[in-house]
């Protein structure tokens, strides 16, 4: 079956947390319309860029794009941007049931509000391995009052301008900023309107005794979150489109780009209300989402301690593939790549780097450059599989990466080989600081083989990999001063980004690109062309 959508994307003033700012909306909404489909459906989305002065591209997060690598929606990698006024049609198969996302993949547009949910149901006659009465999707987000232009300009300026912690957290597009906290009186009396209907709190009306499947996902620009429903436990049953062995939790830790399904039984006192709460963890921030209506009788429950890594690591370790749905990984890899994550300065500018290389995009998308043999559009020398002096690198010290460089070089993977990636976290440019980075891989799911604290030990840590029931995911956290090991098979012809899902971190170079089997990619649609070296390639 074909699911057709027609989207008009534009800017409008909105007040999702009562504060008025420019928001990117799809057909009038942010979050945009949900895509509801069934496994094996073809989804066709006709996107018209009505942003007037801005390019656009939309990524289908968690959809592997098997046979349609040009529909991945990554500007500079798989397509030219959609120019203002143009219409571009994305066409892809949703090959697996589960919970996925979509969002802008150009500049920092995601943080301006362009995101939404994709829910893929099972084929007729097939059942999930768990029961529920109702199915609801809730996207969590952090929200900034500064425009994404101001944010982006700050990131690439001297002195460095850092937007800092968000003003609000949004639950399904709604938050509540306390208007009396505005720093200076504003001339515009509508700039912050505490009674705007756009910032009414998100309310989940439930029926006692019923079980709810909540599809919780995070689209945060920066924040790692904890999510809980006061007084209720939840059972985690799905992560990034894969069933997991049920884990009962009081709160869910969720990182940008992750999706989970949790089951909640409505078994508490029916005469009162309970808080739906989200808090920032891993960074010292204060934004939460106070409700305005039908306030529960007691104050909001305290969230977890922000800098306590142990419970977050414990949840990461607890999540395993569900019995009966285990796909075991190949027992060995053909290539192991260690990605040391650091913050650097290059020519005085702040960057994030992988093995001392900060990633930049070429003007001509890689997919087209590779198919059309345009070798000069990007650096052809391969980036390193590990830092030359990784053994002596002290991950607990402020990095002294004087030799960091910027590059648009890519990793070329032999088709059908098995690749291990070890993400190694380290100290930032601030003493005693290491952040959480959620890494997202396009075009694949990977097995999460293990997590560890401290420095990865290439001789001993691989012996502890979970090859029995590892969960498959498309986004995984590397915890402060820790490492995360993953494995995937390079079997999807195309060019795929692997990057930190923190919007400013990708903007500052925290990513790499993999190419595999590009010679197997069929004829590229001319709609993806028209920029850089491909100006003349676009046929009417």
Ligand X SMILES: O=C1O[C@H]([C@@H](O)CO)C(O)=C1O
Residue ranges in contact with ligand X by CB under 6 A: 162, 343, 428, 430, 435, 504-505
> Of 309, 353, 342, whose CA–CA distance to 429 is shortest?
342
Give strand pairing partners of 88. Answer: 47
Residue nearer to ligand X on the CB measure, 495 or 506: 506
CB of 430 to ligand X, least distance (A): 5
CB of 321 to ligand X, least distance (A): 32
Distance CA 497, CA 481 (A): 24
Would you give the DSSP letter of residue 317? H
Q: What are phi and psi of 454, to 5 degrees?
A: 80, -155
Residue nearer to ligand X on the CB measure, 154 or 303: 154
Residue nearer to ligand X on the CB measure, 506 or 512: 506
Q: Which two tokens stand for residue 40?
A: 């094996």
Strands (E) located in 286-401: 335-346, 349-354, 357-359
Q: If you search the block for the tokens 């919780």, which residue do you land on?
A: 216
Residue nearer to ligand X on the CB measure, 406 or 469: 406
Distance CA 22, CA 10 (A): 10
CB of 162 to ligand X, least distance (A): 4
What is the number of the residue whose Cβ is closest to ligand X? 162
Residue nearer to ligand X on the CB measure, 120 or 510: 510
CA angle (275 as vertex; 274, 277 as ends), nearest 5: 155
Would you give the DSSP letter of residue 505? H
CB of 220 to ligand X, least distance (A): 12
CB of 351 to ligand X, least distance (A): 9
Distance CA 105, CA 8 (A): 16
57, 47 contact by CB (below 8 A): no
**SS3 of 112, please?**
helix
CB of 382 to ligand X, least distance (A): 26
| R_g of the chain, CA atoms, integer Å | 22
Give strand pairing partners of 119. Answer: 36, 99
144, 166 contact by CB (below 8 A): yes
Residue nearer to ligand X on the CB measure, 455 or 505: 505
Residue nearer to ligand X on the CB measure, 127 or 431: 431
Give strand pairing partners of 252. Answer: 227
306, 327 contact by CB (below 8 A): no
Residue nearer to ligand X on the CB measure, 350 or 447: 350
Q: How do strand 259-265 and strand 211-218 relate by DSSP bridges?
A: antiparallel
CB of 454 to ligand X, least distance (A): 21
> Of 38, 36, 99, 72, whose CA–CA distance to 473 is shortest?
99
CB of 224 to ligand X, least distance (A): 11
Strands (E) located in 64-179: 87-93, 98-104, 115-121, 134-143, 168-171
Residue nearer to ligand X on the CB measure, 149 or 162: 162
CB of 62 to ligand X, least distance (A): 24
Residue nearer to ligand X on the CB measure, 199 or 423: 423
Residue 86 burial (10 A CB sphere; 0-12, 13-18, 19+): middle
Q: What are phi and psi of 176, to 5 degrees?
A: -145, 105
Would you give the DSSP letter of residue 260? E
CB of 283 to ligand X, least distance (A): 7
Residue nearer to ligand X on the CB measure, 190 or 430: 430
CB of 164 to ligand X, least distance (A): 8
């Amino acid at each position: 079956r074909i699911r057709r959508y027609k989207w008009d994307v534009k800017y409008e003033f909105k007040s999702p947390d009562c504060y008025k700012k420019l928001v990117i909306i799809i057909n009038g909404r942010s979050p945009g319309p949900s895509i509801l489909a069934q496994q094996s459906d073809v989804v066709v989305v006709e996107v018209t860029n009505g942003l007037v002065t801005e390019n656009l591209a939309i990524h289908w997060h968690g959809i592997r794009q098997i046979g349609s690598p040009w529909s991945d929606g990554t500007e500079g990698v798989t397509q030219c941007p959609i120019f203002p006024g143009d219409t571009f049609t994305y066409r892809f198969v949703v090959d697996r049931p589960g919970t996925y996302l979509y969002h802008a993949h150009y500049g920092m547009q995601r943080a301006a509000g362009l995101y939404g949910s994709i829910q893929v149901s099972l084929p007729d006659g097939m059942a999930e391995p768990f029961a529920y009465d109702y199915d609801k999707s809730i996207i969590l987000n952090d929200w900034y009052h500064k425009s994404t232009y101001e944010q982006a300009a700050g990131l690439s300026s001297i002195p460095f301008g850092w937007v800092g912690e968000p003003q609000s957290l949004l639950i399904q597009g709604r938050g509540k900023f306390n208007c009396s906290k505005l720093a200076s009186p504003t001339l515009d009396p509508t700039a912050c309107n505490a009674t705007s209907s756009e910032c009414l709190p998100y309310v989940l009306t439930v029926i006692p005794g019923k079980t709810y499947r909540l599809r919780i996902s995070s689209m945060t620009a920066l924040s790692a979150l904890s999510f809980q429903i006061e007084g209720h436990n939840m059972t985690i049953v799905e992560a990034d489109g894969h069933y997991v062995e049920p884990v009962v939790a009081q709160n869910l830790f969720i990182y940008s780009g992750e999706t989970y399904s949790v089951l909640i039984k409505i078994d508490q006192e029916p005469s009162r209300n309970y808080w739906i709460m989200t808090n920032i963890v891993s960074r010292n921030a204060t934004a939460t989402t106070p409700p305005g209506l039908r306030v529960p009788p007691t104050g909001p429950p305290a969230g977890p301690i922000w800098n306590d890594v142990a419970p977050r690591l414990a949840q990461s370790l607890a999540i395993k593939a569900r019995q009966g749905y285990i796909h075991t990984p190949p027992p060995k890899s053909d290539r192991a790549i260690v990605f040391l994550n650091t913050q650097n300065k290059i020519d005085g500018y702040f960057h994030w780097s992988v093995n001392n290389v900060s990633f930049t995009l070429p003007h001509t998308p890689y997919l087209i450059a590779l198919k059309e043999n345009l070798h000069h559009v990007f650096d052809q020398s391969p980036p390193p599989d590990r830092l030359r002096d990784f053994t002596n690198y002290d991950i607990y010290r402020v990095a002294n990466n004087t030799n960091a460089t910027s590059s648009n070089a890519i990793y070329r993977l032999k088709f059908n080989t098995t690749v291990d990636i070890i993400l190694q976290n380290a100290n930032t440019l601030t003493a005693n600081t290491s952040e959480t980075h959620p890494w997202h891989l396009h075009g694949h799911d990977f097995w999460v083989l293990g997590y560890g604290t401290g420095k990865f030990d290439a001789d001993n840590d691989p012996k502890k990999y979970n090859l029995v029931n590892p969960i498959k995911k498309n986004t995984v956290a590397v915890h402060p001063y820790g490492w995360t090991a993953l494995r995937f098979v390079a079997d999807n012809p195309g060019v795929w980004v692997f990057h930190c899902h923190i919007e400013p971190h990708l903007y500052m170079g925290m990513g790499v690109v993999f190419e595999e089997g590009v010679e197997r990619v069929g004829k590229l649609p001319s709609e993806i062309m028209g920029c850089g070296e491909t100006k003349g390639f676009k046929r009417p």
